[in-house]
């Protein structure tokens, strides 16, 4: 269901005239140099939870400090949130340790754990619109995207992991002698988890779901840019019957709370999603402390390959979605669009036209495809990459400008004549900037696509099964989308090659991140069989 919802976003195309006058008063804007963003809508939700969640209770930080979380539509403060630091991480880890060593969660039957997760999924479903509004307010993503795709995906993920809870089992294996050998799969203990700001709710589900299904306890650090939705759903999880101390949520900064969690000696496992640069720091901290295992889902610079047999109109729409979805703030965004030379000019012209039709505006308004970037830092970073593209000789086909005078809106941007050595083709921009490159044959595009430090995902658009099979096996990435993109079903594993991280999230493979494997061997006396 979730993948169909994503596809519904892809298939929506708003027919708008292309021209200099691009702002429709009181509705939405297509990009343009004179465009202005309308007055923001008052969000239909209140912030009810802004404190740390430790041992089942909301509380102030030990220091009493708070930090602001900001509305990216305006730059205004939404709420002041408790700022956790090392002392709060210590309190949270202690609560999680006690809940694991002495509490009921790992000791209740797997079926009982499953029922808690199912009740939680039902509660989230009942609060769908409220959670979607909170996510949009804190993050800037379109409300329609949050309400019809991301919150339903969240629900599906927890129901998926609820189904796994009582199906995790070990093995018995034969030995070369009179011994009975059992292989046990045990919960790993206290899991530290650090989630990013681009998909706060979904990353909560990707990490918390499998950890709880396996019987672990958790200390979760939210992204300081988007702390609100995790606190709200954590409250619902306790309403569903989660025991105290099993899930602890700390809002705070990476250099304080994040460092404390990654280096904590009583955390048994760490999972991190974020940039490759920060991932290296997290891995180093984990190694220098207690050598805890680490799952990393990091950056990407995914190629999207349009072959010579492609239906250009369909390819343009899919490539547009692959890049611009979620304001381009997606780790697996198809940010290197490789187009065969025989259809390159037609593709560029149509990609430009599609970008100019993209509706940008207040994400709470109906039919808006693109909201603001997350904050001023990301906003300036993206504009810096756009300047770099111009300076390096790429052709700016459209966009490249700020929209409006408040908030962090950027016009959908398309570059053509991009070369592999340009920064916009090498580095993760994390914004609405499409770079279109040219290739002449499969051998060349395979070499180009793999010539990167990243290996998270790739897209292939072709009608030829042999071409699809060749590229599927040649591309060194964790996921290859063929004639589709961003299909994120709960059962599909997600993760990268190379410096896009290691380990997999979602699906059956994610369970191994939160389980220990133990062999138990006992002698057999006069066995009837071996």
- Under DSSP, the state recorded for 40 is P
**Measured CA angle at 119 (ends 8, 267), to 5 deg:** 95
Do the Cβ atoms of 179 and 523 come closer than 8 Å?
yes
Do the Cβ atoms of 203 and 195 come closer than 8 Å?
yes
Indicate the pairing of strand 336-340 with strand 303-306: parallel
Catalytic residue among 297, 317, 397, 428: 297
- Under DSSP, the state recorded for 526 is S
Which two tokens mark 171? 């093995």
Full 3-state SS string of 216-240: CEEEEECCCCCCHHHHHHHHHHHHC
Task: Give residues with Cβ within 8 angstroms of 404, minimum separation 6.
Answer: 35, 36, 37
State yes or no: is 135 an active-site residue. Answer: no
Do the Cβ atoms of 41 and 364 come closer than 8 Å?
yes
Residue among 356, 402, 405 at smallest CA distance from 380 = 402
Three-state DSSP state, 377: helix
Which two tokens mark 145? 């995207």
Which two tokens mark 415? 């570059």
Three-state DSSP state, 417: coil
Full 3-state SS string of 370-427: ECCCCCHHHHHHHHHHHHHHHHCCCEEEECCCEECCCCCEECCEEEECCCCCCHHHHC
Q: Looking up tokens 């589900």, which residue turns up?
A: 205
Helices (H) and strands (E) in the chain, counts: 16, 24
Helix 151-165 and helix 128-139: axis angle, to 10°? 120
Q: Looking up tokens 């999680």, which residue turns up?
A: 96
Residues in the chain: 530
Which two tokens mark 84? 């956790």
For residue 75, the surrounding DSSP H or E stretch is none
Q: How far is CA 467 from the centre of its chain?
A: 29
Q: Looking up tokens 């901290």, which residue turns up?
A: 285
* CA dist., res. 269 & res. 187, Å (int): 11
Residue among 155, 499, 134, 486 at smallest CA distance from 326 = 486
* CA dist., res. 88 & res. 98, Å (int): 15
Catalytic residue list = 297
């Amino acid at each position: 269901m979730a993948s169909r919802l994503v596809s519904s976003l892809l298939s929506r195309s708003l027919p708008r005239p292309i021209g200099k006058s691009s702002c429709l008063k009181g509705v939405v804007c297509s990009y343009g140099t004179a465009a202005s963003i309308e007055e923001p809508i008052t969000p239909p939700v209140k912030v009810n939870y802004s404190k740390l969640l430790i041992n089942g209770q909301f509380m102030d930080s030990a220091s009493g400090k708070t930090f602001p979380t900001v509305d990216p539509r305006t730059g205004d403060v939404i709420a002041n949130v408790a700022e956790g630091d090392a002392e709060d991480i210590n309190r949270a880890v202690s609560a999680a340790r006690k809940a694991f060593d002495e509490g009921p969660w790992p000791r209740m039957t797997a079926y009982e754990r499953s029922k808690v997760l199912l009740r939680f999924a039902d509660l989230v479903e009942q609060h769908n619109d409220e959670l979607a509004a909170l996510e949009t307010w804190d993050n800037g993503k379109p409300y329609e995207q949050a309400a019809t795709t991301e919150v339903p995906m969240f629900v599906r993920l927890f129901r998926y992991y609820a189904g796994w809870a009582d199906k995790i089992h070990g093995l018995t294996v034969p030995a070369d002698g009179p011994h009975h050998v059992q292989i046990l799969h045990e919960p790993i203990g206290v899991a530290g988890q650090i989630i990013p700001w681009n998909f706060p709710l979904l990353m909560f589900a990707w990490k918390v779901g499998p950890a709880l299904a396996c019987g672990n306890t958790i200390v979760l650090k939210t992204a300081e840019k988007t702390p609100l939705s995790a606190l709200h759903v954590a409250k619902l999880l306790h309403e569903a019957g989660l025991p105290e101390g099993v899930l602890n949520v700390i809002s705070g900064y990476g250099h304080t709370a994040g460092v404390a969690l990654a280096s904590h000696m009583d955390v048994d496992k760490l999972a991190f999603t974020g940039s490759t640069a920060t991932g290296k720091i997290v891995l180093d901290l984990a190694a220098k402390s207690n050598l805890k295992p680490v799952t990393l889902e990091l950056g990407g610079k995914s190629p999207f390959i349009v072959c010579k047999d492609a239906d250009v109109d369909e390819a343009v729409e899919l490539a547009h979605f692959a890049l611009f979805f979620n304001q381009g703030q997606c780790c697996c965004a198809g940010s290197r669009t490789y187009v065969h030379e025989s259809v390159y000019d037609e593709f560029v012209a149509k990609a430009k036209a599609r970008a100019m039709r993209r509706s940008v505006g207040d994400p709470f308004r109906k039919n808006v495809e693109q909201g603001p970037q997350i904050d001023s830092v990301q906003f300036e970073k993206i504009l810096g990459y756009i300047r770099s593209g111009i300076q390096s000789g790429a052709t700016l086909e459209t966009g490249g400008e700020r929209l409006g005078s408040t908030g962090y809106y950027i016009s959908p941007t398309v570059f053509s004549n991009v070369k592999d050595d340009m920064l916009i083709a090498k580095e993760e921009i994390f914004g609405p900037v499409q770079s279109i490159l040219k290739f002449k044959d499969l051998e060349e595009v395979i070499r180009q696509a793999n010539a990167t430090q990243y290996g998270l995902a790739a897209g292939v658009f072709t009608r030829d099964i042999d071409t699809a099979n060749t590229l599927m096996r040649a591309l060194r990435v964790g996921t290859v989308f063929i004639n589709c993109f961003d299909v994120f079903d709960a059962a599909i594993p997600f993760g990268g090659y190379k410096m896009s991280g290691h380990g997999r999230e979602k699906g059956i493979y994610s369970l191994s991140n939160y389980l220990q494997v133990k062999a138990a061997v006992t002698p057999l006396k006069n066995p009837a069989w071996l």
